Amino acid sequence: MGNNYNSEEKRINELRKKKIQNFHLDIDQDDLAVGERYRELEHIEDEYSEDINSYSGEEAREQMRRDSRNYLREEKRERKKQMKYIDRQNKRRFRLIWWVSVLLVGIMLGIFLLVGVNDMMGLSRPDEKKVTVSIPENPTFKDVCNALKSKGVIKEEFFFDLYATFTKNRDSFTQGTYEMKTNMDYEAIINYLQSMQNRTDTIKVTITEGMNVVEIAKKLVKKDVLPDTKEFLELCNSDYFDADYSFIKSIKNPKKRYYKLEGYLFPDTYECYHNENPKLTITRMLNDFETRIYTDQNVEGYAKAQNIRKLVKESKYTFNEILTLASIIQAEAANSEDMYYISSILHNRLTYDASYGVRKLGLDSTKYYPYRSKKAVPASKRATFKSKYSTYDFEGLPPGPICNPGTEAILAAIYPEETDYLYFCHDKKGKPYYASNLWQHNYNLSLIEG
């Protein structure tokens, strides 16, 4: 009986060991998988519990549990060690990759910045060459960059954009043609393009004495300086220039004038630019007037022109009245000598009383202003047109100048000849005739007409 019991127990134990050996533990990387394997072992234990219980199986089962727990704990410890090792290796690899990446990015960024700085300083363009750069009309910043890059003045458009934005110069470029060097730095490039004096696409325009504002505007359009006359004429009748020029601000009757700036656009030869801003055109002419006429210096080339402003102050007329007289003299006179005699006649007519029969100046040059003649008046209003400057209809001087006089006419307005003449006329060749009374004037007219 005892031998049978021992042999049966031995058989069961061997069977248990064999089944356990045939059971393969696959420990996953997380604790949930380990628990699952533990439960599977418990299931195996339950499967043979009845057999074991029938032969002192309680001790065997407890031993099996202890062995299983020890085995699982050992496996878990080993797994944790392995995971820590893998984690350390991964961290080392990550740090290595991260530092290598930072180093590469740093090198690339350094190269990028070096390229940009070299271009900004002009160091990447060491060869000094002169090139012609043309900036189109109403340019965008992209247009400017393309023009500069195509000629080799800049290489790095991104850095030039960045520099112009940082220095607030991105919108400060205008149309023009420039002769530039290829090794200029960004600051020099921007300053060069912002100076109108560096433009090479200049157009010489001569404004002759006696041209009025409308005629000047038309000539500027004809010479391709301005695209049209509209903005130019609007500016000539605006307050835009008052703050910069005291002689414009001093005008007392701007609303009575056709063009506020008439008389102040000094006749001269100007270097203008193709399709330039009319504000620049007018500023150029007003600056010339200020330098040549409205000055505290003597006017070069004229013996009598010792400080025109001072001379006007010593007269009984205002500066605007002298300029109006000068414009009439410029429009009516045949030559420089004739200017001083016509000035005498105008002064006499303004001074003498009505007993001389000259209450009005009666000048043809004022009759159709701002037009040159009746034919120049638009057909739609020609029949009824009546100029508020007409000295046939109104007494005294007109509200303002009728054209833009030169220096000689202004001096003639200040220094009239001393005569008693009240009338004048000219023949077809421009020969002047003067008269002190109406009878003599009619006689002179008969000589001209005959």
Residue 254's domain is classified under what CATH number? 3.30.1490
Q: How far apart are CA 41 and CA 69, in angstroms?
A: 10
223 in the same domain as 189: no
349 in the same domain as 370: yes
Of 230-239, 298-307, 391-400, 409-418, the range with the lowest mean pLDDT is 298-307
334 in the same domain as 444: yes
What is the number of structural domains in the chain?
4
Residue 138: which domain range? 130-198
Inform me whether the pLDDT recorded for 121 exceeds 80: no
- Quick one: average pLDDT of 352-377? 87
In the numeric block, the tokens 């418990």 are attached to 42
Mark which of 292, 315, 346 sits at the end of a domain: 292
The residues pairing with 424 across neighbouring beta strands, listed in sequence order, are 434
404 in the same domain as 351: yes
Q: Please give the pLDDT value at position 97.
A: 75
Q: How far apart are CA 330 and CA 372, in angstroms?
A: 13
Q: 44 in a domain, yes or no? A: yes
Of 345-359, 371-385, 418-432, the range with the lowest mean pLDDT is 345-359
Q: How far apart are CA 270 and CA 289, in angstroms?
A: 12
Q: Please give the pLDDT value at position 52.
A: 46
335 in the same domain as 429: yes
Q: 60 in a domain, yes or no? A: yes
232 in the same domain as 165: no
Q: How far apart are CA 233 and CA 321, in angstroms?
A: 22
Mark which of 166, 198, 230 sits at the end of a domain: 198
Q: 320 in a domain, yes or no? A: no
Inform me whether the pLDDT recorded for 176 exceeds 80: yes
| Rg of the Cα atoms in the chain | 51
Q: 322 in a domain, yes or no? A: no
Q: Please give the pLDDT value at position 95.
A: 75
Highest mean pLDDT among 100-104, 200-204, 408-412: 408-412
Structural contact between residues 387 and 212, judged by C-beta atoms closer than 8 angstroms = no
403 in the same domain as 360: yes
Of 83-97, 396-410, 425-439, the range with the lowest mean pLDDT is 83-97
The 10s digit of each residue's pLDDT in 60-93 is: 777 777 777 777 777 777 777 777 777 777 777 7
Query: What band does 180 get if pLDDT is binned at 50, 70 and 90?
Result: confident
Q: Please give the pLDDT value at position 4.
A: 54
Mark which of 148, 167, 198 sits at the end of a domain: 198
346 in the same domain as 440: yes
Q: Which residues contact 178 (CB under 8 A, 6 or more apart)?
A: 132, 133, 134, 135, 192, 193, 198, 199, 200
Q: Please give the pLDDT value at position 205.
A: 96
Q: Report the candidate in 244, 239, 399 with the shortest Cα–Cα distance to residue 323.
A: 399
- Quick one: average pLDDT of 132-141? 88
Inform me whether the pLDDT recorded for 139 exceeds 80: yes
Q: How far apart are CA 262 and CA 267, in angstroms?
A: 12
Q: How far apart are CA 245 and CA 291, in angstroms?
A: 11
187 in the same domain as 219: no
The alpha carbon dihedral of 330, 334, 335, 339 has a sign of: negative
352 in the same domain as 365: yes
Inform me whether the pLDDT recorded for 354 exceeds 80: no
Higher pLDDT residue, 304 or 239? 239
Could you tell me the CATH number of the domain that includes residue 164? 3.30.1490.480
* Cα of 225 vs its chain's centroid, Å: 19
Q: 260 in a domain, yes or no? A: yes
Q: 111 in a domain, yes or no? A: no
Query: What band does 137 get if pLDDT is binned at 50, 70 and 90?
Result: confident
Of 1-5, 108-112, 375-379, the range with the lowest mean pLDDT is 1-5
180 in the same domain as 71: no
Q: 236 in a domain, yes or no? A: yes
Q: 381 in a domain, yes or no? A: yes
Query: What band does 28 get if pLDDT is binned at 50, 70 and 90?
Result: very low
Terminal-residue alpha carbon distance, the chain: 178
Measured torsion, CA atoms of residues 272, 273, 276, 281, in degrees rounded to the nearest 10? -10
266 in the same domain as 355: no
Inform me whether the pLDDT recorded for 127 exceeds 60: yes
